[in-house]
Amino acid sequence: MFYESPHRVEEMLEDCSEALGAERAAAAAREITKLHETVYRGTLGALAVRARGDPDFRRGEIVVVVAGAAPAPATGAADVLDRLLGILMAELPLKQAARLAARIAGARDNEVYKRALKLKPQD
C-alpha cells in the first residue's frame, strides 16, 4: 500500500508496473472519505495508462494498493532432497553426503542413504 501525492502518482504507477509487472492487480483511491472520492481498479499497467489520460486521476491525495505476488509453485520434498543430495554428493563421499542431507531435511539416515544410492551415477 502506498500513499502518493497527485503530481507523482503517474510516474509511481509506471515504475510499479515495470518493477512488479504490468498485470499485477491494483487499486487507486483518491480523496478517500471526501466528496469526490473515486476508486480505480485494474492492473498496474491499466492504472498507469488511466493516470496518464485522466486529469481527475491526479487530483488530491491518492492511496494505491497493490496485490501481493503470486506464491511460487511448491516444490515437493522429494525434489528438494534429490537436489540437496546431488549437490552434496558432488563434493563429499556418498555416506557423508547422505548423513548431512538427512540432518538438513530432518529425514531418517537409512532412507536418505537408499535414495542417494539410486541417484549415484553408475560408473
Note the pLDDT tens digit of each residue in 31-81: 998 988 999 999 999 999 999 999 989 888 899 999 998 765 555 777 888
Is the pLDDT reported for residue 18 higher than 90?
Answer: yes
Q: What is the CATH number that goes with domain 2-66?
A: 3.30.950.10
Q: How far apart are CA 28 and CA 49, in angstroms?
A: 13
pLDDT at res. 123: 60
Contact 26, 66 (CB under 8 A): yes
Q: Where are the domains of the chain?
A: 2-66, 77-118
Lowest-confidence segment of 29-33, 99-103, 119-123 by average pLDDT: 119-123
The x, y and z cell numbers of residue 35, run together, are 466528496
pTM for this structure? Answer: 0.58
Is the pLDDT reported for residue 23 higher than 80?
Answer: yes
Q: pLDDT band for position 4 (50/70/90)?
A: very high
Question: What percent of the chain is modeled with pLDDT above 70?
Answer: 94
pLDDT at res. 24: 95
Which residues, 6+ apart, have CB-to-CB distance to 48 below 8 Å? 10, 13, 14, 16, 17, 22
Lowest-confidence segment of 17-21, 31-35, 68-72, 115-119 by average pLDDT: 68-72
Distance of CA 5 to the CA centre of its chain: 27
| Stronger pLDDT, 70 or 120, i.e. the higher one | 120
